[in-house]
Amino acid sequence: MPAVLPALGLPVLGALADELFGGGLGWLYSTCAVLGAGMAALVASRRGWWWIVSGAPVVTLTVACAVDYLARSDRYQGAGLATQGLRLVSGQFWPMVAAVVAALLATVVRTRRTRKAHHG
């Protein structure tokens, strides 16, 4: 499975589900963004780990911005652009941190498994 599928697919699905059923980005989106980053790191090649770890916060924020803007474009007009943008960015801080941590943990797990396989 290409790493891009969980890295992008899970956050998009989580955001869409939260918008459809919860009225805004919430725990389902955050969980899917974290799981997507972790799963992507598990299936990515060793060379791809850097892109997964460094891209996890970018993907998390970009998907959140895109889905929120599509769902509430009227709030992003005029003076509301800065207010809504800042609210969205600050609300995504912890999901972005958690996505990076999940990706880093997955790379550590894979590295240890690889070392054990070679030594034992």
CA distances for 2 relative to 11, 44, 52, angstroms: 15, 7, 12
Residue range 62-113, pLDDT digits in tens: 999 999 999 999 999 988 899 998 999 999 999 999 999 999 999 999 998 8
Residue range 22-60, pLDDT digits in tens: 888 999 999 999 999 999 999 999 899 999 999 999 999
Angle (CA) 41 30 59, round 5°: 55
How does 85-116 read in b/e, with b if 16+ C-beta sit within 10 Å?
eeebeebbeebbebbbebbbebbeebeeeeee
Amino acid at 53: V
Instruction: Report residue 33: phi and psi, to 5°.
Output: -65, -40
